[in-house]
Amino acid sequence: MTLLDGLVIAQVAEGFDKFINTLTSGISLGAIYAILALGFVIIFKATQVVNFAHGAIAAFGAYMVVYFATVLNIPGRFLDFLPITAQWILSALLAVAITAVLGIVIERVAIRPMIGKALFAVAIITLGLDLIIRTVTNDLMGNQSRGLGDPWGIRIIEFSGIRIAATEIVTVIVAVLAVLLLAWFFRTKTGVAMRATAFDQEAAMAQGINVGRVFAIAWAIGAALAAIGGIFASIFPRSPGGVSPVTAFIAFTAFPAVVIGGLDSIVGAIVGGLFVGIVQIMSGTYLAGVSFLGTGFSAVVPWLLMMAVLLVKPYGIFGTEEIRRV
């Protein structure tokens, strides 16, 4: 083995390390997008509503963690015999629950009255909701970044040249857990009812399913997933400063993921989310030297991909084609 061979191997190894690091970064970002996309798709499948307020709900959920974990310290202050990690997880669960309640409130107040009206109109209502929720959440935040107080902080796990943040591992674990939980949920009675409603609302009603309750549960689950996605989007390494007024916009980058996968496909949401996350990080890292692309190209890549996919498959990769009748 000559010195030259050694150098080449070192460079390849360095390139390999960089590739693995980029890939793991992409998978963790993809996991966040997948969680956000899942929530979005569940709401869409069950209630036929495109929820443009998803990002605002995600930011609200993240802020709730700030509030419960750092400002009020509930339930930590009553349970201080538990380790800090457990206390924070409980605060986070509480925040997710509150956000689920917000989802139900939104459904009751803004979506229920629009049943039977044009889908476009309801989508615009969610745009209005986005404005309201985002403004109020920003105001609660004080218009600045607020740390979530998570126990993993900036800890990085390193082995043989590969660096993964502890929070990235947690993100992927939680995403997998969420998918498994959902898979189990859809086999329960309520879950089957939701699937039936998604398939055909009228037939489900005819079978005695309480469609109103299904709607509420769908929004609760969707909002809860948004909150989880928002939490992971507000901690290291995505946002070391914490949740801030720009956190809500991360969901806008999740929309291409949803559309690529297909608006009404759960599998599509997961696949689309992972795909977009990986592509975004890869293009950010490997296209960094290409100067004519300027800045911010990696944020626009998902949208370009979405356009390309829609040209070939107008309903997304896994979406169901609409059957149109005169």
Partner 1 sequence: MRGRPLLYTSYSDEMRLFPTTAKRVAVILLLIVLILLPLKALPGFGFLGDSAWLILIDRALIFAVAALGLNLLTGVAGQVSLGHAFFMAVGAYTAVLLGGEPGNTVWGLELPMWIWLPAAGLVAALIGILVAPTAVRVRGLYLAFVTLGLVFIGLYMWTNLGKIAGGPTTGRPWPPLELALWRGQEPLISFATDGPWFGVELVREAKAYFFLLGVVIVFALLAKNLMRTRIGRSWASIRDRDIAAEVMGVAEARGKTQAFAISSFFAGVAGALLASFIGRRIPTSWDLFLSVVFIAIILIGGAGTVSGTFLGTIFVVLIPRVVEDFTLSLSELAAGDGVLSSMANLIVATGPEDFGLVSTTAAGPGLSIFQLNVALFGVLIIVFLIFEPLGLYGIWIRVRNYWKAWPFSY
Partner 2 sequence: MKKLHILGVVLAFALLAAACGSSDDTSTTGAAAAATTTTAAAAEETTTTASAEAGMKTGIGVDADTMTIRLGALHDLTGPVFSPLVVDINDAMQIYYDDLNANGGIDGWMIEYIPEDTLYDVDTHLEKYEKLRDNVLAITASTGSPTSVAALPALMEDNMTFIPLSWYSGWGIPEFDGGLALEQNTNYCIEAMNILEFINGMGGTTIALATFPGDYGLDAAAGVKLAAQFYGMEIVYDGEGLVVPNGDNPEVIAGIAGSGADWVFLTTNPTTSAILLGGAFGAGFTGLWTGSVPGYDFRLLDSPAAPLFDQVYYQSAYNVPWGSDAPGQVEMAEILKAVEPGKRPSDAFIIGWNEAKTMHSVLATAIANGDLTREGVQVAVSQTTSVDFAGTAPNQDYSGTPNEYVTRQTAIFDPDLATYTAAGGADQTISQDDATTGSLLAQDFFASEAAKNFEFSAPCYEL
Is residue 73 near partner 2 by the rule CB under 8 A? no
Is residue 84 near partner 1 by the rule CB under 8 A? no
* Residues 99-128 interacting with partner 1 (rule: CB under 8 A): 110, 113-114, 117, 119-125, 127-128
At 156, give phi and psi (nearest 5°): -120, 135
How far apart CA 73 and CA 86 sit, in angstroms, is 12
What tokens appear for 244 in the block?
Answer: 């801030």
Is residue 63 near partner 2 by the rule CB under 8 A? no
How far apart CA 84 and CA 86 sit, in angstroms, is 5
Give me the least distance between CB of 315 and partner 1, in Å please: 7
Residue 105 binding target from partner 1, partner 2, none, CB below 5 to 8 Å by type: none
Identify any residues that bridge with 139 across adjacent strands, giving them in sequence order.
Answer: none
Pick from 246, 304, 307, 308 the residue near partner 2 by CB under 8 A.
246
* Residues 137-156 interacting with partner 2 (rule: CB under 8 A): 138, 142-150, 153-154, 156
What crossing angle do the helices spanning 266-286 and 297-312 adopt, rounded to 10°? 140
Residue 238 binding target from partner 2, partner 1, none, CB below 5 to 8 Å by type: partner 2
Question: In sequence order, what are the residues at sequence separation of 6 or more whose Cβ sits closer than 8 angstroms to the Cβ of residue 95?
Answer: 61, 62, 64, 65, 67, 68, 69, 227, 231
Binding range to partner 1, per CB under 8 A, among 27-35, 63-71, 227-235, 317-325:
317-325
Whose tokens are 């009228």? That residue is 202
Pick from 34, 42, 102, 129 the residue near partner 1 by CB under 8 A.
129
Identify any residues that bridge with 158 across adjacent strands, giving them in sequence order.
Answer: 163
Reported as half-sphere exposure (CB side, CA atoms, 13 A), residue 185 has a value of 13
Give me the least distance between CB of 316 and partner 1, in Å please: 8
Is residue 172 near partner 2 by the rule CB under 8 A? no
How far apart CA 28 and CA 168 sit, in angstroms, is 5
Is residue 8 near partner 1 by the rule CB under 8 A? no
Is residue 43 near partner 1 by the rule CB under 8 A? no
- For the chain, give the number of residues: 326
Residues that bind partner 1 (CB under 8 A): 50, 110, 113-114, 117, 119-125, 127-132, 135-136, 138-139, 252, 255-256, 259, 263, 293-297, 299-300, 303-304, 306-307, 310-311, 314-316, 322, 324-326
